[in-house]
Amino acid sequence: MKDWWLKFGCFLTGYKYELLKGCSEVSHRAVKRYTAALVIICILWAFIGYSFVSKYLAADWYYSCLGAALFVLIILQVERQIILSDTQGNAKYIIRGFIAVIMAVIGSIIIDQIIFKEDIKHKESYELNAQVDSLLPARERELKAQAAETDSSISKKEVERKALVDDLFKNPTIQVASKVNNAIAVPITTTDSNKVTIVKTNFVRKTAYAVNSIQNPKMSMLAPLDEQIKEMRAIKIDQETRILKLRDEVTIEAKANGGFLYELKLMYKILRDSGPALFVWALWALLLLGIEIFIMVNKMTHVETDYDVSIQHHMELQKRKLRLLAMQIPEVQNN
């Protein structure tokens, strides 16, 4: 457990512990400074990553932890670009400064949306009511027009039903004439040549007409008509209910459009309309910017330590080995 903080610092910064442990206290202190700065940055961005995934991606806690770990991993890789670089060249510092400004702005936006959560809810309620008030009249006119059309259709059907009922009341039955063909037996008497009388029966068809009373067939139209009126009345009740609940429905639809960008717009309006809110956001942005460029400033003002000299010495030894190896290869080939 000895030098655990130094080992942890080597893990974060990318320094090689086997080489660092033989160096002086100056090199150890430099690694510890970098480690302290990285711990602050990692804690801050782990909180930002967890809050972002949990709030705006609506993920479970384990996905939020995964998002926090991903944010920390990205930050470590960015910081190592500075910590493990040599001191020559300013381009990397300019790029890192640009990245630091962007990260500070993004981080301050996410943190301020958490800090100003109640103010955002209040602003959201105000904006929501204004949006609902603008959408409600058109929706209400449309539903009322549909309800009026349904009511007109019901009135027409009721007039049709009344006429049908009146007709059935006056004429519950109708007379129907039917034709019946009956065979009538007609006896025919004949005398043959022997003066024998023969009686034959001949059937003659005779048509008769009968008048019967039956139920008015329009009676079958009454039940379907009543069913249509019932369905149309149910539709009208549903439309009237929707009119009563229209504001809640429009409010739910308006809330469904919320998200990171929507809250960002609300945050912008809060910062635009409130000086104290803008001041707090600026403080957070400057704080994050200072933390982001802290390691870069340390690296820019970094004094060469024996660890750096050891790295350079190992590099020179490796170069000499490669040169000697390159000189030996032609001799081997000649032999």
* 312 in a structural domain: yes
* 150 in a structural domain: no
Nearest C-alpha neighbor of 211 from the set 160, 175, 256: 175
Tell me if residue 205 falls in helix, strand or coil: strand
SS3 readout for 50-99? HHHHHHHCCCCHHHHHHHHHHHHHHHHHHHHHHHCCCCCCCHHHHHHHHH
| Residues 10 and 118 placed together within one structural domain of the fold | yes
| Residues 43 and 108 placed together within one structural domain of the fold | yes
* Between 266 and 227, the higher pLDDT residue: 227
Mean pLDDT on 137-144: 80
Mean pLDDT on 110-126: 76
| Residues 199 and 52 placed together within one structural domain of the fold | no
Q: Print the domain residue range for 109.
A: 4-122+260-330
Tell me if residue 115 falls in helix, strand or coil: helix
| Residues 287 and 210 placed together within one structural domain of the fold | no
pLDDT value at position 69? 92
| Whole-Å CA distances, 160 to 150, 156, 165, 230 | 15, 6, 9, 14
* 165 in a structural domain: no
Whose tokens are 């329009």? That residue is 218
Whether the per-residue pLDDT at 278 is higher than 60: the answer is: yes
**Average pLDDT of the chain, as a whole number:** 77
In whole angstroms, what is the distance from residue 190 CA to residue 199 CA?
6
Whether the per-residue pLDDT at 203 is higher than 70: the answer is: no
| Residues 194 and 271 placed together within one structural domain of the fold | no
Whether the per-residue pLDDT at 82 is higher than 60: the answer is: yes
| Residues 62 and 208 placed together within one structural domain of the fold | no
* 294 in a structural domain: yes
| Residues 192 and 87 placed together within one structural domain of the fold | no
* 241 in a structural domain: no
When divided into structural domains, the chain yields a total of 2
* 145 in a structural domain: no
Eight-class DSSP state of 304 = P
